[in-house]
Amino acid sequence: MATRIIYTGRNTNIRYQLLDQGAPRDLSNLSKIELIFTSSVKVSGDVGTTTPLDFTTEPTALTLKFSALTIPSGSYPSVKLVVYDADNPKGLVWGEIALIVRDNPYIDAS
């Protein structure tokens, strides 16, 4: 999976499809999704919410919507994606994604 870049303060929505044996996974049974960047930087989204993690609008897609978040700039090559449902109340590590967070260089200085 390619490394994706997020600019702080911008609407850099990133869409993922979670696959189960090569087919898109229906996310409608999930209660929560968590992204673990580091031990101190975590982002979570609950069912029914659309920010910062949207897995409600489109049942087979996860969209990261980080425009309102402040995530420290840096390279995060192994962000853990953890899913929660009735069968996995303590969470199941689904996999990893690679993200780079950059300060927004396009802020008007005037």
Q: How confident is the model at residue 6 (pLDDT cuts 50, 70, 90)?
A: very high
For residue range 16-25, what is the model confidence (pLDDT) as tens digits?
999 999 999 9
CATH class label, 4-102: mainly beta
pLDDT, tens digit (0-9, with 9 covering 90-100), for 55-91:
999 999 999 999 889 899 999 999 999 999 999 999 9
Question: What pTM was estimated for this model as a whole?
Answer: 0.89
Peptide bond into 59 cis (omega under 30): no
Q: Which amino acid is at 87?
A: D
Rg of the chain over CA atoms, in angstroms?
14
Q: Domain spans of the chain?
A: 4-102
